[in-house]
Amino acid sequence: MMGVVLWSDQQVGKAVIWCEDQGKLAYVTGDQAEINTELELQAGDLVSFSLRMQSKLRFAENLTVVEENSYQGLNETLKSSVDRPSAKAEPIRDEGAEIIPFRAKAPQPRSVQPLVALAGA
């Protein structure tokens, strides 16, 4: 998988990666921390890696830097797009709602006519 490093701490060898599948973020910790300090990952680096799932978290393994600083400033761009209000956003007005309960109706008896009567009509 490919991804962009959003944050890294080179002293402890940890990083957070935004994955190309737009799923959950991938984390670099634990055993990969030593490898990460050798790679010197920095925010904005495009990386290739494999994913390992553990306790509903995604961990990046077998990291390779594809291109350094290819997305420099991406984390700031993402932050600023969240911080500013959308021009199209309108306040939601709560005017109340009428809730109509669903109740199953009692089955109505069907009138059944014999086939002979229908055929002779």
Residue 49 has pLDDT above 90, yes or no: yes
Tokens 């932050």 belong to 79
**Average pLDDT score over the chain:** 77
Residues forming beta bridges with residue 61, ordered by sequence position: 50
pLDDT at 58: 94
**CB-based burial label for 36 (10 Å; 0-12, 13-18, 19+):** buried
Instruction: Return d(Cα 85, Cα 50) in angstroms, integer.
Output: 36
Q: In the chain, what are the domains?
A: 2-76 (2.40.50.140)
Which pLDDT score is estimated for 114? 64
pLDDT above 60: residue 23: yes
pTM of the model: 0.60
The predicted-structure confidence for 64-96, as pLDDT tens digits, reads as follows: 899 888 877 777 777 776 666 555 656 656 666
Decide: 6 and 75 in contact? Cβ < 8 Å: yes
When pLDDT is cut at 50, 70 and 90, the band that residue 33 belongs to is low
The Cα 64–Cα 58 span in angstroms is 17
